[in-house]
C-alpha cells in the first residue's frame, strides 16, 4: 500500500510524469477552494453534474443534528458557482444524482424532488426518515435509500420510483447485523443495483428482490460507485478509512489508516477511484486493488462528504464543518 | 557474513575497547509531580486553575435530570478512575463489558451502546440493558489510568512508528504495528483505538454515563495545554501533532428528554485539560537493589521488546515502558473485539509507569498480581513469558520489584483508603463510636481494612458479584480531597438490581438464584442475564451503614410497641415490624430484612461479593459454598468478627448544620409519624436522632408493583433513617429521587397526608424543612 503523509502532498507528483488523460486513470492533482459558504447556506453534502458545464452541489443547514433543516443548492454553469433555488420548506438535501434529462435530489424527512425544466417537482415518498442517497437509472427507474440513525428501532429504507410513484422495498434478511440506515445506492443496470449502509451492510437487487452480500467489515459503509458489474467500490469507516471492492464474485475489504473515515467516492472509467473523507481527506484508490494515495484537498479540517469527476480528469469535492456542532459552513474544492 | 565497510575502522581502531553503548535519550525533566493525582509542574497558573475545575467536573454526580442515561454504567467520571486517586484506574468492581457480534464474514459489529454493555436504564428504558440479539462476544474491560496522557499526546507519530515491525523483519518474534484513528496514529485505549484525549473522554462519557457533549470549539482547542486549534494545525509542518488533544468529532445526541449537549462546553474543556495536566507516575528516584537487578532482567528476557523504556517527545524521553503499538497477545488473551486495524487478539502495549497501583491487570482485569499478568502473556510475548518463567524465584521477584519502582508505589493501597490511614476524628464521617481500648481499636482497624480492601479472585471473589469490597458500594460522602467515607452510602452507579416475575394476580416470584441480578462476574464467567419471564425490576440504592450498630441495639419490644397495623389511631399511618419468623425482628436494609449487623455482613459478603461464609450457630444469612475454584468458606469467622465489629462501632452521621425551624416544620408536616426522631425506650446511646421507627410502611401509590422480601411484600419498605441524608443522595429505595424535595414529592400511600401537609407549608417553612433534612 502506498500512503503519503498529508504534509507531503502539497506538491503532488504525477505517478508517471505523463499528462493525465482518461485512459491513464487518475493522478494526484492540485486542489483549489472554489467556494466557501457561510452559515446562511450551510454545508454541502453531495455533488454531481451531467457535464463539466452543469454541476450541482446540494446541502443546507440544520439547527441541531435532530433537525430536518433547510435545504440549499448551488449550480456551476460555465465555471461559476451560483446559488440555485430550491422550494421553500425543503429540508437538508443529502444527495444529488441525475441524467442529462433529469436531476434528482433527496434529503431529510423523506424529501425527494426532481427538476422538470426549470422548476422542482416534489414527490410523495412513503417515509419520513432521512433519505441519504439516490441513483437515477432512468426517468422511470430511480432508487433512494435512507434511515434514521438516531432511532434505535429504525429500519433502513429502500424505495423505488417508477416514474409515477415511490414503492417501499423490504430489506432482505441479514446475517445478524441490525442497521438503522442504508446510505447510498448505485446501479450498473436495472437489474444490478447495490446499496451500502450501517455496520457494513451491502445489499444487491437483481431486478426481483434485494439480498445481502457479505462485506467483510462491520464498519459503516457510506458511499459506493462502480464502472461495471464486476468493478464496484464502497467506502466508509467513521474513524478509519475503509475500502470494499467487488470483483464480480466477492467483496473484499481493507482499512487504510492514513485516511480518516471516507464519505464519498467517484470512479473514473479506468477503474481508479477518487475518494473524499473526514478532515479534508482526498485521495485515490487505484484500480483493481487497495493501493492508495492521499492528496491535499485544500479543505483543511473540513469534512469532504461528496466527490464527483469527469472524463477530462477534473474532480470536485464538497463538504463542510459536518463534524462540528451546527450551524455548518460549507466548502467546494476542485482540481486544477 | 561481510561486515559493512564503514564499520571496520571502528572495530579495528580499538579492538580491546568495549563496544560503545548507544546513548539513551535523557528522561524528560520537569514532568513529574510529587504524588499521583497532582498537576504537572509545568502547568501555568491558569492551567492549574483549570486543573482544579476539571477535578470537580470529574467528580460531578450526574442525575437523570442532568441527562444521565438513557442507559448508563456509572454516574460520574471518578467512579472508574479512582485508584489510588482521581485519574487512576479502577478496581475490579468497576469493570464493564464490551459486547458485539462476530459474523461469518469475519467482521465485528459492536453492539448495545457503541460496543459498551450498560447496566442501568433511566428515562423509560428497561432497568437492565439486555444483550443485543445475536451478540456472541461479551468481554470484560477494566478502567485504564489517565496519569501522563497529556505527555503521551505530545509524542510525535514518528516516535511511535519507529518501533513498528509489522512483518517481524528482525525475526525476534515481536512485530508491532500502529493503530489509526481519523487518519492519525492511535495511542489511547486498550487497542490504541483513539488518537485524541477529547475523544477518549467524550466517548466514555456518552457510552458509560449517557452524557452527550459537543466537540470543543476552536477557541477552546486553542486554550488546551496543547494548542489544538485548526489555526495552529494549519500553521504547523507536522499537523498530526495537534490531533492528539482534540480531533474533530461530531456532536452527540441521545434519546432522553434532556437537551443536548448535556455537558456544558466549559465543563468538557476543564475535563480535557485536567486529564492532559495529570502528571505521570514518577519512577523511584533511588530504586532498590532488587529493582536495579530487575531492570536488567526485564531487558534480558526481552519484556522491553514491546515495553520499550520510553518514547521521545519534545521534552525528552517519557519513561512509560510502552511502544504504544499493537501486538498479538495470543489466543488466551484474545477477546474477539476488533477496533480499526486491531484484531481480536491484538492489544496496545500497556504503559507500565505507575503499574504498582493499577491492579487488577490486563485489559480485562483478569490478573490479580503482576506475576499473574506476566503468566497470561502469549502470542508475541510468549518467549519473554517463558524466559521470565525460567528465572529463579529471586530473579522473578527482582523483576516485580523493578516494575513496582516505576512510580506510585508509596500510594499503593489494597482498597481506596491511603496506606496507614488513621482512625478518623470524632464527628468525621467514618469515625468510630468510642472504642474501649487499644485492642478494640486494632480490631476496628482490621475490620475497616476488610471492609475497604478489594477481594481478589484468589480470595474468593465471585463468580458473580456487584462489588469486590464492601467499600465498593459504601463510600459516600467523598471529601474534597477525594477521601472516601468507608461505610457510607453509594451513588447510582452502584445500585443493586433486583428483579423477578409478577403475575397478573400480583404475585411475585423470585428467580431461582435470588432477586439480585448481579452486575459482574469474574473473568471467563458470562454476565448473568434475565429472561423474558422477568418483568419487574427495582434498583436498590446503597444506604449508609454508619450507625447500624445503634439500630441493632433497639429492643424488639420497643419496635412492636410502635406497630399500628390496623391504624387504630386513625392517622392513616400503619407500620409493622418485619417479623422474620424465627424469633428475630428485621431492622436493617430497605425492607428491614436483616436482623443484625453480623447477619448483614454474612448476607452482603455472599450476595454482593460472592464470598462464602462459614456456618455459625444462630446465624442463617449468607451462603456457605459456591462453585468457584476457591475453597469454601472463603471468609473466616475471625474476618466476620472484625468486619461486624467495625460496622457495629461506626458512629452515625452527625448533622452538619443547625436549621432554625426545621424540626418544627418536620413535625408540622407529620414526617415524624414514621420518621420518629428517637425510638421510645432506645434513645440511650444515640448521639443524634435517627428519624426512623424501623417499621415497614407502604409509601407508594396504590397498585404500585414491588418486589417481595420476606413479609415485606411489594411496596412495604422500612422507614429509612434520615441521619446521613447530607451525604447519601440519591434518595429512596431505588435512588430515583435526586434531591430531598424529589423524595418528599414521591411519598404516597401512608405518607400521603404528610406530603399534602408539606405542600401546605409556607415557602419559608418548606425551605427550612428541606434544609433541615439536607443537613442531617
The residue count of chain A comes to 336
A176–chain B Cβ distance below 8 A for any pair? yes
Cα within 13 Å of Cα(A130), Cβ side: 26
Between residues B228 and A206, the one the model is more confident about:
A206
Query: pTM to 2 decimals?
Result: 0.91
Q: Which residue has the cell 469474574?
A: B522
Q: What are phi and psi of A307, to 5 degrees?
A: -145, 145
> B341 to chain A: which residues are within 8 Å by CB?
240, 255, 257
> B109 to chain A: which residues are within 8 Å by CB?
176-178, 199-200, 218
**Strand runs labelled E in B492-618:** 496-502, 508-509, 520-521, 536-540, 578-579, 585-586
> Rounded to whole angstroms, how far apart are CA atoms B776 and B726?
6
From B423, B477, B488, B427, select the one nearest B449 (Cα to Cα).
B423
> Rounded to whole angstroms, how far apart are CA atoms B450 and B423?
15
- Segment B148-164 mean pLDDT: 94
- Segment B448-461 mean pLDDT: 97
> Rounded to whole angstroms, how far apart are CA atoms B755 and B336?
54
Q: Which residues, at least 6 apart from B490, have a Cβ–Cβ distance to it below 8 Å?
A: B473, B474, B475, B476, B541, B542
Q: What is the DSSP string of B154-200?
A: HS-HHHHHTT--TT-TT-SS---B--EETTEE--BSTTS-B--HHHH
Q: Which residue has the cell 464470598?
A: B611
Q: B759, exposed or middle or buried, with CB in 10 Å at 0-12, 13-18, 19+?
A: exposed
Which of the residue ranges A148-157, B20-29, B136-145 would you say has the lowest mean pLDDT?
B20-29
Q: A109, exposed or middle or buried, with CB in 10 Å at 0-12, 13-18, 19+?
A: middle
Q: What is the ipTM of this complex?
A: 0.88
B238–chain A Cβ distance below 8 A for any pair? yes
The predicted structure's pLDDT at residue A10: 35
Longest dimension (CA), chain A: 53
- How high is the mean pLDDT of chain A? 92
> A178 to chain B: which residues are within 8 Å by CB?
109, 132-134
Q: What are phi and psi of B312, to 5 degrees?
A: -100, 125
> Rounded to whole angstroms, how far apart are CA atoms B58 and A260?
30
Which of the residue ranges B249-253, B542-546, B652-656 would you say has the lowest mean pLDDT?
B249-253
* Residue in A closest to B251 by C-alpha: A325
Q: B611, exposed or middle or buried, with CB in 10 Å at 0-12, 13-18, 19+?
A: buried
Q: Which residue has the cell 401537609?
A: B757
Measuring CA to CA, how many Å separate B757 from each of B317, B442, B671?
A: 68, 49, 9
> B251 to chain A: which residues are within 8 Å by CB?
64-65, 324-326
Mark residue B189 as left, alpha or beta (left: phi above 0; alpha: psi -120 to 50; beta: remaining).
left
> B737-744, long-range: CB within 8 Å, 24+ apart, which pairs?
B738/B63, B738/B64, B738/B65, B740/B770, B740/B773, B740/B774, B741/B770, B744/B770
Asked if B103's CB is within 8 angstroms of A176's CB, the reply is yes
The A residues from 207 to 226 touching B (CB cutoff 8 Å) are: 214-219
B706 is written with which cell numbers?
414491588
> B260 to chain A: which residues are within 8 Å by CB?
64
Whether A47 has a pLDDT exceeding 50, the answer reads: yes
CA distance A125 to chain B (A): 26
- Determine contact, residues B116/B72, Cβ cutoff 8 Å: no
B224-242 pLDDT, tens digit per residue, is 998 888 777 777 666 554 5
Whether B9 has a pLDDT exceeding 70, the answer reads: no
* Residue in A closest to B114 by C-alpha: A199
Spans of all domains in chain A: 6-12+28-335
Asked if A257's CB is within 8 angstroms of B179's CB, the reply is yes
B109–chain A Cβ distance below 8 A for any pair? yes
- Select from A62, A260, A292 the residue whose CB has the most chain B CBs within 10 Å, as the one to mutate to test that interface: A260
Whether A75 has a pLDDT exceeding 70, the answer reads: yes
- Determine contact, residues A302/A312, Cβ cutoff 8 Å: no
> B248 to chain A: which residues are within 8 Å by CB?
278-279, 301, 303, 323-324
Q: What is the DSSP string of B57-113?
A: HHHPPP-GGGT--SEES-SSGGGTS-BSSTTSB--GGG-EEEEEEE-TTS-EEE-TB
- Pairing of the two strands A262-267 and B326-328: unpaired
Q: Which helix (H) or strand (E) holds B150?
A: helix B149-154
Of B103, B253, B341, the CB nearest to A175: B103
* Residue in B closest to A302 by C-alpha: B248
Q: Which residue has the cell 442525575?
A: B63
Of A66, A178, A239, the CB nearest to B182: A239
CA distance B681 to chain A (A): 58
Whether B13 has a pLDDT exceeding 80, the answer reads: no
- How high is the mean pLDDT of chain B? 93
- Output the CATH code of domain A6-12+28-335: 2.130.10.10
Computed on alpha carbons and rounded to an integer, the radius of gyration of chain A in Å comes to 18
Which of the residue ranges A143-152, B46-55, B65-74 would you say has the lowest mean pLDDT?
A143-152
B206 is written with which cell numbers?
456518552
A149–chain B Cβ distance below 8 A for any pair? no
> Rounded to whole angstroms, how far apart are CA atoms B175 and B163?
9
CA distance A309 to chain B (A): 24
A99 is written with which cell numbers?
441524467
Which of the residue ranges A57-66, A181-190, B85-94, B486-495 would you say has the lowest mean pLDDT?
A57-66
The predicted structure's pLDDT at residue A331: 98
* Residue in A closest to B194 by C-alpha: A239
First-residue to last-residue Cα distance in chain B:
83
- Segment B300-315 mean pLDDT: 96
From A253, A204, A244, A250, select the one nearest A223 (Cα to Cα).
A244
Asked if A66's CB is within 8 angstroms of B107's CB, the reply is no
Q: Quote the Cα angle for B592-B597-B600, to 5°.
A: 65
Q: Which residues of B619-646 are buried (b: 16+ CB within 10 A; e: fewer)?
A: bebbbeebebebebbbbeeebbbbbbbb
CA distance A328 to chain B (A): 12
Cα within 13 Å of Cα(B111), Cβ side: 24
- Determine contact, residues B650/B548, Cβ cutoff 8 Å: yes
The predicted structure's pLDDT at residue A20: 42
* Residue in A closest to B184 by C-alpha: A258
Computed on alpha carbons and rounded to an integer, the radius of gyration of chain B in Å comes to 28
B245-299 pLDDT, tens digit per residue, is 655 578 898 989 999 999 999 999 999 999 999 999 999 999 999 999 999 999 9
Amino acid at each position: 500500500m502506498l500512503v503519503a503523509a498529508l504534509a507531503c502532498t502539497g506538491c503532488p507528483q504525477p505517478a508517471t510524469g505523463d499528462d493525465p488523460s482518461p485512459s491513464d486513470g487518475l493522478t494526484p492533482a492540485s486542489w483549489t477552494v472554489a467556494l466557501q459558504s457561510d452559515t446562511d447556506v450551510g454545508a454541502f453534502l453531495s455533488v454531481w453534474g451531467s457535464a463539466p458545464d452543469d454541476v450541482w452541489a446540494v446541502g443546507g443547514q440544520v439547527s441541531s443534528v435532530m433537525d430536518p433543516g433547510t435545504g440549499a443548492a448551488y449550480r456551476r454553469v460555465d465555471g461559476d458557482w451560483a446559488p440555485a433555488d430550491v422550494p421553500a420548506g425543503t429540508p437538508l438535501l443529502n444527495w444529488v444524482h441525475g441524467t442529462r434529462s433529469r436531476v434528482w435530489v433527496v434529503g431529510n424527512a423523506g424529501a425527494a424532488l426532481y427538476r422538470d425544466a426549470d422548476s422542482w417537482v416534489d414527490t410523495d415518498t412513503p417515509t419520513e426518515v432521512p433519505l441519504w442517497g439516490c441513483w437515477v437509472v432512468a426517468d422511470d427507474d430511480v432508487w433512494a435509500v435512507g434511515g434514521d440513525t438516531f432511532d434505535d428501532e429504525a429500519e433502513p429504507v429502500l424505495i423505488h420510483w417508477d416514474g409515477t410513484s415511490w414503492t417501499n422495498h423490504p430489506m432482505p434478511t441479514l446475517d445478524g447485523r441490525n442497521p438503522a440506515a442504508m446510505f447510498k445506492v448505485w446501479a450498473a443496470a436495472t437489474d444490478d443495483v447495490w446499496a451500502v449502509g450501517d455496520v457494513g451492510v451491502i445489499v444487491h437487487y437483481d431486478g426481483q428482490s434485494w439480498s445481502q452480500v457479505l462485506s467483510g467489515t462491520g464498519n459503516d459503509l457510506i458511499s459506493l460507485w462502480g464502472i461495471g458489474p464486476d468493478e464496484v467500490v464502497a467506502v466508509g469507516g467513521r474513524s478509519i478509512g475503509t475500502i470494499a471492492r467487488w470483483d464480480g464474485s466477492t467483496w473484499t475489504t481493507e482499512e487504510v489508516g492514513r485516511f480518516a473515515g471516507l464519505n464519498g467516492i467517484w470512479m473514473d472509467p479506468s477503474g481508479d477511484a477518487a475518494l473524499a473523507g473526514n478532515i479534508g481527506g482526498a485521495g485515490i484508490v487505484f484500480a483493481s486493488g487497495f493501493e492508495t494515495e492521499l492528496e491535499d484537498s485544500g479543505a483543511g479540517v473540513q469534512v469532504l462528504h461528496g466527490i464527483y469527476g469527469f472524463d477530462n480528469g477534473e474532480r470536485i469535492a464538497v463538504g463542510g464543518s459536518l463534524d462540528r456542532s451546527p450551524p455548518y459552513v460549507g466548502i467546494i474544492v476542485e482540481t486544477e | 557474513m561481510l561486515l559493512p565497510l564503514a564499520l571496520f575502522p571502528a572495530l579495528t581502531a580499538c579492538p580491546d575497547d568495549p563496544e560503545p553503548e548507544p546513548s539513551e535519550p535523557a528522561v524528560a525533566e520537569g514532568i513529574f509531580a510529587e504524588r499521583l493525582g497532582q498537576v504537572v509542574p509545568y502547568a501555568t497558573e491558569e492551567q492549574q486553575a483549570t486543573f482544579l475545575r476539571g477535578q470537580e467536573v470529574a467528580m460531578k454526580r450526574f442525575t437523570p435530570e442532568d441527562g444521565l442515561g438513557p442507559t448508563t454504567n456509572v454516574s460520574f467520571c471518578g467512579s472508574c478512575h479512582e485508584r489510588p486517586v482521581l485519574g487512576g484506574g479502577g478496581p475490579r468492581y468497576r469493570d464493564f463489558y464490551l459486547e458485539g457480534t462476530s459474523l461469518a464474514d469475519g467482521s465485528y459489529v459492536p453492539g448495545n451502546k457503541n460496543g459498551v454493555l450498560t447496566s442501568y436504564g433511566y428515562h423509560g428504558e428497561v432497568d437492565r440493558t439486555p444483550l443485543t440479539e445475536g451478540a456472541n462476544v461479551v468481554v470484560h474491560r477494566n478502567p485504564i489510568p489517565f496519569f501522563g496522557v497529556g505527555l503521551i499526546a505530545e509524542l510525535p507519530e514518528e516516535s511511535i512508528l519507529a518501533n513498528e515491525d509489522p512483518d517481524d523483519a528482525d525475526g525476534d518474534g515481536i512485530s508491532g504495528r500502529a493503530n489509526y484513528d481519523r487518519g492519525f496514529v492511535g495511542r489511547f485505549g486498550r487497542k490504541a483505538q483513539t488518537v485524541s484525549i477529547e475523544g477518549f473522554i467524550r466517548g466514555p462519557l456518552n457510552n458509560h454515563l449517557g452524557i452527550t457533549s459537543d466537540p470543543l470549539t476552536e477557541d477552546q482547542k486553542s486554550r488546551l495545554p496543547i494548542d489544538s486549534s485548526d489555526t495552529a494545525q494549519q500553521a504547523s509542518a507536522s499537523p498530526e501533532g495537534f490531533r492528539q488533544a482534540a480531533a474533530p468529532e461530531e456532536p452527540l445526541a441521545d434519546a432522553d428528554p434532556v437537551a443536548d449537549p448535556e455537558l456544558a462546553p466549559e465543563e468538557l474543556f476543564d475535563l480535557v485539560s485536567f486529564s492532559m495536566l495529570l502528571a505521570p507516575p514518577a519512577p523511584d528516584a533511588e530504586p532498590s537493589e532488587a529493582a536495579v537487578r530487575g531492570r536488567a532482567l526485564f531487558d534480558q528476557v526481552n519484556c522491553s521488546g514491546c515495553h520499550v523504556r520510553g518514547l521521545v517527545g519534545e521534552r525528552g524521553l517519557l519513561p512509560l515502558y510502552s511502544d504504544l503499538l499493537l501486538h498479538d497477545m495470543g489466543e488466551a488473551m484474545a477477546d474477539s473485539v476488533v477496533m480499526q486495524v486491531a484484531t481480536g487478539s491484538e492489544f496496545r502495549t500497556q504503559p507500565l509507569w505507575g503499574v504498582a497501583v493499577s491492579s487488577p491487570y490486563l485489559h480485562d482485569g483478569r490478573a490479580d498480581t503482576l506475576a499473574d499478568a506476566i503468566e497470561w502473556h502469549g502470542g508475541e510475548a510468549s518467549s519473554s513469558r517463558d524466559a521470565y518463567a525460567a528465572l529463579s524465584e529471586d530473579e522473578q521477584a527482582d523483576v516485580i520489584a523493578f516494575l513496582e519502582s516505576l512510580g506510585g508505589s508509596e500510594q499503593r493501597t489494597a482498597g481506596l483508603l491511603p496506606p496507614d490511614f488513621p482512625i478518623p476524628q470524632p464527628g468525621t464521617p467514618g469515625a468510630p463510636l468510642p472504642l474501649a481500648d487499644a485492642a478494640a481499636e486494632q480490631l476496628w482497624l482490621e475490620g475497616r481494612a476488610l471492609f475497604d480492601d478489594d477481594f481478589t479472585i484468589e480470595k474468593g471473589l465471585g463468580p458473580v458479584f456487584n462489588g469486590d469490597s464492601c467499600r465498593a458500594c459504601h463510600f459516600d460522602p467523598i471529601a474534597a480531597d477525594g477521601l472516601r467515607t468507608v461505610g457510607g452510602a453509594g451513588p447510582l452507579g452502584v445500585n443493586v438490581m433486583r428483579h423477578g416475575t409478577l403475575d397478573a394476580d400480583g404475585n411475585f416470584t423470585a428467580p431461582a438464584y435470588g432477586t439480585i441480578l448481579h452486575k459482574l462476574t469474574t473473568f471467563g464467567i458470562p454476565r448473568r442475564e434475565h429472561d423474558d419471564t422477568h418483568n419487574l425490576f427495582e434498583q436498590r440504592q446503597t444506604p449508609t451503614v454508619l450507625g447500624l450498630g445503634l439500630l441493632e441495639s433497639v429492643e424488639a419490644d420497643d419496635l412492636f410497641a410502635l406497630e399500628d397495623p390496623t391504624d387504630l389511631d386513625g392517622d392513616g399511618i400503619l407500620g409493622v415490624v418485619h417479623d422474620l419468623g424465627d424469633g428475630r425482628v428485621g431492622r436493617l436494609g430497605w425492607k428491614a430484612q436483616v436482623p443484625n449487623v453480623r447477619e448483614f455482613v454474612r448476607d452482603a459478603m455472599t450476595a454482593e461479593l460472592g464470598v462464602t461464609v462459614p456456618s455459625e450457630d444462630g446465624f442463617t444469612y449468607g451462603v456457605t459454598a459456591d462453585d468457584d475454584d476457591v475453597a469454601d468458606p472463603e471468609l473466616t469467622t475471625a474476618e466476620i468478627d472484625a468486619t461486624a465489629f467495625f460496622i457495629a462501632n461506626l458512629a452515625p452521621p452527625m448533622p452538619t448544620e443547625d436549621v432554625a425551624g426545621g424540626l418544627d416544620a418536620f413535625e408540622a408536616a407529620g414526617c415524624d409519624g414514621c420518621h420518629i426522631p428517637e425510638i421510645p425506650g432506645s434513645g440511650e446511646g444515640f448521639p443524634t436522632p435517627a428519624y426512623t421507627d424501623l417499621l415497614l410502611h407502604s409509601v407508594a401509590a396504590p397498585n404500585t408493583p414491588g418486589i417481595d422480601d420476606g413479609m415485606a411484600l411489594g411496596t412495604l419498605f422500612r422507614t429509612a433513617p434520615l441521619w446521613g441524608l447530607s451525604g447519601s443522595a440519591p434518595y429512596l429505595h431505588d435512588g430515583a429521587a435526586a434531591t430531598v424535595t424529589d423524595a418528599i414529592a414521591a411519598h404516597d400511600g401512608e405518607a400521603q397526608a404528610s406530603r399534602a401537609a408539606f405542600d401546605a407549608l409556607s415557602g419559608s417553612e418548606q425551605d427550612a424543612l428541606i434544609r433541615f433534612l439536607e443537613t442531617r
